Amino acid sequence: MSEVEFEDIPGTLLFDAERSRKGYHLNMFCMSLMKEENRAAFRADEEGYKKQFPMTAEQSKAITDRDWNKMLELGGNIYFTSKLGAFDSLSFQQLAAKMTGSTQQEYADMMLHGGRSVEGNRSKSDWKNRG
């Protein structure tokens, strides 16, 4: 499957070299939250702390808004952005639920029953053609 084909799958963002470069500073910010002294500094002054990392304004806003999907779109790696989720006391399951627009229980139930249906979730271009 080519990178273009991956981009056609709803909800799929390929974390490739280009997206990695784009999100480098965003990911380094998230990884910095592994240290308690950095978490304390971020807790005390989120905007000031973020300025240490030369992110785009859009990346910084995504962090402020806790827009998890936007962070991934802007180059965030799910394993790195989950450090911010942990900072906010979110489990990975809670984070995934937020990213899918569901409650934690709805997300857990969906996963226990085999995940999302493939119906309607195979191709963005199929959505456009159904008009």
Q: What is the average per-residue pLDDT within 14-43?
A: 92
Which pLDDT score is estimated for 64?
A: 97
Q: For position 88, which CATH number holds?
A: 1.10.700.10
Long-range contacts of 44-48 (CB under 8 A, 24+ apart): none
| Rounded Cα–Cα distance for residues 23 and 56 (Å) | 9
Number of compact structural domains in the chain: 1
pTM for the full predicted model? 0.79
How is residue 22 written in tokens?
């784009």
| Rounded Cα–Cα distance for residues 102 and 123 (Å) | 21
Which pLDDT score is estimated for 99?
A: 85
Query: Which domain does 122 fall in, by range?
Result: 3-130
Condensed to tens digits (0 to 9), the pLDDT of residues 113-122 reads: 877 666 655 5
